[in-house]
Chains A and B, each alone.
Chain A
Amino acid sequence: MSKNVPGIMRQKPITPWLYLIPALIVMFTFIVYPGVNTFYLSLRNADNTAWASTACKSGESCWGIFENYHYAITSAIMQTAFLNNIKWILIMVTGTVGLGLLIAVLADRVRYESIAKSIIFLPMAISFVGAGVIWKFMYNYESGSNQIGLLNAIITAFGGQPVSWLTEPQINTIALIVVGVWMWTGFCMTILAAGLRGVPEEILEAARVDGANEWMVFWKIMIPQVLPTITVVITTMVINVLKIFDIVYVMTGGNYGTEVIANRLYTEMYKSYQPGRASAIAVVLILVIIPAMIMNIRRFNEQEATR
């Protein structure tokens, strides 16, 4: 990297730090220090007056100083949250990446490419809260025959029974994930489309001349060529999904079995006033994210090597 820097410019040793200090101070105060502090708080009791082990009740199993983690990992509500987050990851990542790839490949072949892409991408520009309202209206449920929510209107028009999408267990988490897919497919599509543009046209043409059909071209040439991009998109999406909060907070508040990790953290901290438990949940969250973080740094190093 240092090969980039022109050697002719003489500088006082202090100059770089003058440029860096404001950013470093802010980042230290708002990311590094609180990150470390969260670890500490996760070992403390609810009002930070003693270690977490004092919260143990006699006769019940106790993890000592890690009592908050006992809650963060084994409590029923957190188990639900973990399970839901896994569902979110599985469905949302497959959905967004699959649909994003599909649209990126198909849109490349039509004249209205830019319009189609804009339409798919538009939900990225609005807030989760706005999307929550949009979809809450789509999912609206009335017990009678008069449905003002589109989905239930379609179901009743075909003679089915209306579904209470957001309170019915099992269905409701899927219903929330659909909102996520609707919002994030545009993101995946854009990045994958950029990756596909990097596939040399000659290779595709050569394969077609050799008699490969479009299906084979897609699986045998395009997919292997954009595989690194797909990995990037998947890692980014996994991180995003693990942090998902707004959709759940606005649409169900984590009730009816739709709890996720990030919403639980908010509830523990700002509704139950249990900063110790909330911190432990935050630490668990970062532990889950660390693998993705390492991948990011590794990819960065590879990029630097090719600069």
Chain B
Amino acid sequence: MNPFTRFWNWIKSLPVHIILIGLCIIWLVPSLGLLVTSFRPVQDINETGWWTVFAKPKGFEEFKTYCASCHGEDGTSIATADLTDPDLVQNYRRSFNLLSSLERDIDGQPHMGDIPVPDEQTAATIAAYMRRISGIEARPKFTLSNYIDAFVGYRGNKSYQQDCVDGTQAVDLYCDVRDLTNPRGMGRAFLNSLFVSIPSTILPILFAAFAAYAFSWMDFKGRQWMFALLVGLQVVPLQMTLIPISRLYAQVGLNGTFLGIWLFHTGFGLPYAIYLMRNFMGSLPREIFESAYLDGASHWTAFYRLAIPLSVPAIASLAIFQFLWIWNDLLVALVFLGGQHPVLTYQIGNMVTSLGSGWHLLTAAAFISMALPMLVFLFLQRYFVRGLLAGSVKG
């Protein structure tokens, strides 16, 4: 291929790359914003956008314009007026202290020389910047305290660690390992989510395996139409059954219990689980089952020695699917568990309404809830995609 055709081909494929990479960036940016924000100190989050995280902090530009020509960009040029010295800056914490100093003469010369004295707001920004560089209000670019606060359910206006050092924590915080189970915290919610998701994943797969075996390798009346009905049941909206089930649960005392939500998820997971496993088991080679039966194997033996081990890929897909579905579910948790055993989605939904713009806690909490699904997805993507395809296209 000569260089010209190669270049021409490159030009021709350029739009493809531009569109594709552009879309990928658009898809990534929102999550990236969440991730970056969750590690920033709360004051920074509300002061500057997360995309400026590697830029100079707020006030740097103002400081440069008004102060840097004498004090230097780092504020240390004049030894007798070192702006990184906390003892000195302590006197100019507020904009009016700072302004009056700037308006005063030094040795008969105006403090600011030819530069005009900044207005009130700019002075406030500069004062804040000096508090930062002098270490009075130093804060790191990144912090873990949002995560700690979210985990223990801290709602004060400093930080959990700070409050614990000062001994000013809220009455329901103990500053030890017990706080991980604080009902307001994400730690507790994480455990609850696991406690909801794991049985709700195992139970439907267990029941579905039996039913799928019967649908695949047994002969009985009504097999065809029962299976068709099952396909129909897959699309019954959950909302259709919430009301009678809540009433039923209220009568038998299952509202707000883990058992109640396990059973509900089992019922709703079953049609899809049976469908997917039937498609998989039914496509296993018929000969192995025939020869097993000829050797005198019973259905039970064929089921647990042949069908189950051979269906492991389908079971894996199904387990991942069901697990993520339940982990991410809000509606069922809201209705059947509510605040008694808050799960992650419930907890975050609550925080969104009660915290308003408590972005430091919200972003950390959201990321805590997303970490596990993302890991599952990244490492088990193959099974995930397979399950998706089996359910929607031909199995």
Give A129 to B367 CA distance when docked, in angstroms: 11
- From residue B317, how far is it (CB to closest CB) to chain A in Å? 13
Q: Are A243 and B237 in contact (CB under 8 A)?
A: yes
Q: Are B16 and A150 in contact (CB under 8 A)?
A: no
Given contacts A6-B217, A137-B37, whether A110 and B20 have CB atoms under 8 Å apart is yes
Residue A257 is within 8 A (CB to CB) of chain B in the complex: no
Given contacts A6-B286, A134-B33, whether A119 and B28 have CB atoms under 8 Å apart is yes
Interface residues of B in 1-41 (CB under 8 A from A): 13, 16-17, 19-21, 23-24, 27-31, 33-34, 37
Q: Mark A7-50, 1 if CB is under 8 A from B, else 0.
A: 01101010111011011101101111111011001000000000
- From residue B234, how far is it (CB to closest CB) to chain A in Å? 7
Complex contacts, A265 vs chain B, CB 8 Å: 239, 242
- From residue A178, how far is it (CB to closest CB) to chain B in Å? 10
Looking at A57-65, A201-209, A279-287, the stretch in contact with chain B turns out to be: A279-287
Complex contacts, A135 vs chain B, CB 8 Å: 30
Q: Are B20 and A148 in contact (CB under 8 A)?
A: no
Q: Are B243 and A38 in contact (CB under 8 A)?
A: yes
Q: Mark A111-127, 1 if CB is under 8 A from B, else 0.
A: 00001101111111111
Interface residues of B in 246-275 (CB under 8 A from A): 246-248, 263-264, 266-268, 270-271, 274
Q: Are A301 and B218 in contact (CB under 8 A)?
A: no
Complex contacts, B381 vs chain A, CB 8 Å: 118, 121
Looking at A72-80, A168-176, A231-239, the stretch in contact with chain B turns out to be: A231-239
Residue B316 is within 8 A (CB to CB) of chain A in the complex: no
- From residue A210, how far is it (CB to closest CB) to chain B in Å? 19
Overall SS of chain B's interface: helix
Most buried by A among B20, B236, B286, B329: B20
Give A135 to B363 CA distance when docked, in angstroms: 11
- From residue A140, how far is it (CB to closest CB) to chain B in Å? 7
Instruction: Identify A6's interface contact among B271, B290, B388, CB under 8 A.
Output: B290
Q: Are B349 and A250 in contact (CB under 8 A)?
A: yes
Looking at B74-82, B92-100, B164-172, B206-214, the stretch in contact with chain A turns out to be: B206-214
Q: Are B220 and A1 in contact (CB under 8 A)?
A: no
Q: Mark B64-86, 1 if CB is under 8 A from A, else 0.
A: 00000000000000000000000
- From residue B324, how far is it (CB to closest CB) to chain A in Å? 6
Q: Mark A247-259, 1 if CB is under 8 A from B, else 0.
A: 0011101000000
Residue A187 is within 8 A (CB to CB) of chain B in the complex: yes
Complex contacts, A251 vs chain B, CB 8 Å: 352
Complex contacts, A106 vs chain B, CB 8 Å: 16, 19-20
Looking at B45-53, B130-138, B173-181, the stretch in contact with chain A turns out to be: B45-53
Give A119 to B200 CA distance when docked, in angstroms: 28
For B51, the closest partner residue in chain A by CB is: A150
Instruction: Identify A11's interface contact among B34, B219, B345, B389, CB under 8 A.
Output: B219
Q: Are B299 and A9 in contact (CB under 8 A)?
A: yes
Complex contacts, B289 vs chain A, CB 8 Å: 6, 9
Q: Are B19 and A26 in contact (CB under 8 A)?
A: no
Complex contacts, A140 vs chain B, CB 8 Å: 357, 359
- From residue B33, how far is it (CB to closest CB) to chain A in Å? 6
Residue A227 is within 8 A (CB to CB) of chain B in the complex: no
Looking at B110-118, B141-149, B155-163, B369-377, the stretch in contact with chain A turns out to be: B369-377
Residue A102 is within 8 A (CB to CB) of chain B in the complex: yes
Residue A143 is within 8 A (CB to CB) of chain B in the complex: no
Give A107 to B271 CA distance when docked, in angstroms: 33
Looking at A87-95, A190-198, A216-224, the stretch in contact with chain B turns out to be: A190-198
Give A32 to B241 CA distance when docked, in angstroms: 8
Residue A278 is within 8 A (CB to CB) of chain B in the complex: yes
Q: Are B33 and A34 in contact (CB under 8 A)?
A: no
Give A212 to B235 CA distance when docked, in angstroms: 41
- From residue B191, how far is it (CB to closest CB) to chain A in Å? 17
- From residue B137, how far is it (CB to closest CB) to chain A in Å? 19
Q: Are A153 and B233 in contact (CB under 8 A)?
A: no
Give A191 to B242 CA distance when docked, in angstroms: 30
Q: Are A31 and B388 in contact (CB under 8 A)?
A: no
Complex contacts, B385 vs chain A, CB 8 Å: 121, 190
Interface residues of B in 339-394 (CB under 8 A from A): 344-345, 348-349, 352-353, 357, 359, 362-363, 365-367, 369-370, 373-374, 376-378, 381, 384-385, 388-389, 392-394
Q: Are A122 and B31 in contact (CB under 8 A)?
A: yes
Residue B328 is within 8 A (CB to CB) of chain A in the complex: yes
Instruction: Identify A130's interface contact among B223, B366, B393, CB under 8 A.
Output: B366
For A105, the closest partner residue in chain B by CB is: B16
Complex contacts, B303 vs chain A, CB 8 Å: 19
Give A95 to B263 CA distance when docked, in angstroms: 36
Give A307 to B286 CA distance when docked, in angstroms: 13
Instruction: Identify A182's interface contact among B30, B242, B344, B349, CB under 8 A.
Output: B30
Given contacts A27-B267, A191-B388, whether A296 and B234 have CB atoms under 8 Å apart is yes
Residue B91 is within 8 A (CB to CB) of chain A in the complex: no
Instruction: Identify B33's interface contact among A138, A243, A253, A303, CB under 8 A.
Output: A138
Given A119-B28, A123-B31, output 18 extra A-B contacts at Cβ < 8 Å: A4-B217, A9-B302, A23-B210, A27-B271, A30-B245, A35-B236, A37-B244, A110-B13, A110-B17, A126-B373, A128-B330, A129-B366, A149-B49, A150-B30, A253-B353, A265-B239, A297-B232, A300-B228
Chain A to chain B contacts (Cβ below 8 Å), 14 pairs: A16-B214, A24-B211, A27-B270, A33-B244, A106-B19, A116-B24, A127-B369, A129-B349, A130-B345, A134-B33, A148-B49, A250-B330, A285-B237, A286-B236
